């Protein structure tokens, strides 16, 4: 039965419109028509004048709802994380494995494949963040886990999952030929936790490097005589930059400068969320107690350990802290990550033929309802 979403302010192609009915059928948006032309036999769903936008896509989700993917890389954990983040507007996500051993990577890849096969709502693939990182920029990652990539691990990462596979690496730790092999196999390779200089990043970009994991954090900075990873990222015209808009990882003024330096279409809002999102405000990571206080996750030494951020809060922060209008903030949380994942032909927009992944926001930009593949959940 066709559903008609009516009485809302809808974000369509970058602008908000009213008196439009969004028709949902078989998990997709079948049509957008004037409300006066809404089919008489459609089930009308009154959205009470609230704001309807495309669902948020989070490409870096370590945990949520008291679950950490590293602790138990299973279909059940993926489902629990997805459910925790759905309450905050995330309708598509990549469960993210922090640097770990080969067996854990193998298990995580297999379980992501199973989660997609059995239809866990929202799961779009997997993100393997490390362990092929630079120890000088390890952040909260366990230094004992960091290593050079092996042939066996290349084989693991290039196995199809039925979704997207994102891998974060320090490009200076591996030959460009390996980056090319990964990208040629369809893996989305990002630079992160890296001390690479501008030339090393440029070389990686030439062989398919597609993005930068949490820009500014855990990477070589822009200086007067060396662009570093940050400068090379901002200079490139084709790749994507993930940003954590929580006011803690990066000063909002620095993010504002980045948005002036490169087109908005190149930026992706990510949460880098930990189990505290939708869960208790403390958890264990690599044997350390992590506290989520004041909106950030830190260990006893004060090192940031992911975030206590959800996507709806990040969108609100982009409006309040960065001065963006809501349409641009939503693009960074939905349209841009869909393009980064090569899913922009079916996700990231409210348009006919696109999957019905939607978020309803109240006047305070809090999430009131979501739809994943047309299934509604308050």
Stretch (H or E) spanning 102: helix 102-117
Contact status, residue 81 vs residue 93, Cβ threshold 8 Å:
yes
Q: Which residues are catalytic?
A: 272
Rg for the chain (alpha carbons), in Å?
A: 20
DSSP state letter for 142: -
- Strands 304-307 and 296-298 come out as antiparallel
Q: Pseudo-torsion of CA 32, 33, 35, 37, nearest 10°?
A: -150
Instruction: List Cα–Cα distances, 267 to 64, 211, 213, 226, in angstroms.
Output: 23, 10, 11, 22
Phi-psi region of 272 (alpha: psi -120 to 50; beta: other; left: phi over 0): left
Token representation of residue 183: 């990208």
Token representation of residue 257: 């400068």
359 contacts: CB under 8 Å, gap ≥ 6: 52, 53, 54, 55, 56, 89, 91, 312, 367, 369, 370, 371
């Amino acid at each position: 039965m066709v559903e008609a979403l009516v009485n809302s302010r809808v974000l369509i192609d970058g602008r908000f419109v009213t008196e439009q009915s969004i028709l949902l059928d078989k998990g997709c948006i079948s049509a957008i028509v004037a409300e006066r032309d809404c089919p008489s036999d459609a089930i009308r769903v009154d959205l009470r004048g609230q704001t309807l936008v495309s669902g948020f896509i989070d490409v870096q989700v370590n945990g949520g709802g008291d679950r950490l993917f590293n602790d138990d890389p299973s279909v059940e954990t993926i489902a629990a994380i997805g459910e925790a983040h759905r309450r905050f507007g995330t309708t598509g996500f990549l469960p993210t494995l922090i640097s770990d051993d080969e067996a854990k990577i193998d298990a995580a890849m297999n379980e992501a494949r199973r989660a997609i096969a059995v239809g866990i709502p929202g799961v779009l693939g997997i993100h393997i963040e490390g362990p092929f990182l630079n120890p000088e920029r390890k952040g909260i990652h366990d230094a004992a886990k960091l290593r050079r990539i092996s042939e066996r691990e290349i084989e693991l990462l290039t196995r199809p999952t039925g979704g997207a596979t994102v891998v974060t690496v320090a490009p200076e730790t591996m030959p460009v030929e390996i980056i090319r092999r990964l990208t040629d196999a369809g893996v989305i390779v990002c630079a992160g936790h890296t001390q690479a200089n501008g030339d090393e990043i440029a070389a990686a970009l030439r062989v398919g490097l597609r993005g930068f994991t949490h820009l500014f954090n855990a990477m070589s900075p822009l200086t007067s005589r060396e662009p570093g990873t940050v400068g090379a990222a901002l200079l490139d015209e084709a790749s994507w930059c993930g940003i954590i808009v929580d006011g803690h990882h990066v000063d909002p003024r620095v993010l504002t400068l980045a948005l002036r330096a490169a087109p908005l279409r190149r930026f992706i809002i990510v949460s880098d969320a930990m189990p505290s999102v939708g869960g208790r405000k403390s958890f264990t990571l690599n044997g350390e107690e992590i506290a989520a206080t004041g909106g950030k996750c830190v260990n006893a030494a004060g090192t940031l350990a992911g975030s206590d951020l959800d996507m709806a809060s990040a969108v609100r922060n982009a409006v309040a802290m960065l001065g963006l209008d809501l349409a641009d903030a939503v693009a960074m949380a939905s349209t841009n990550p869909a393009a980064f994942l090569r899913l922009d032909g079916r996700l990231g927009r409210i348009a006919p033929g696109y999957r019905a992944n939607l978020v309803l926001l109240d006047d305070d930009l809090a999430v009131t309802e979501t739809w994943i593949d047309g299934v509604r959940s308050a």
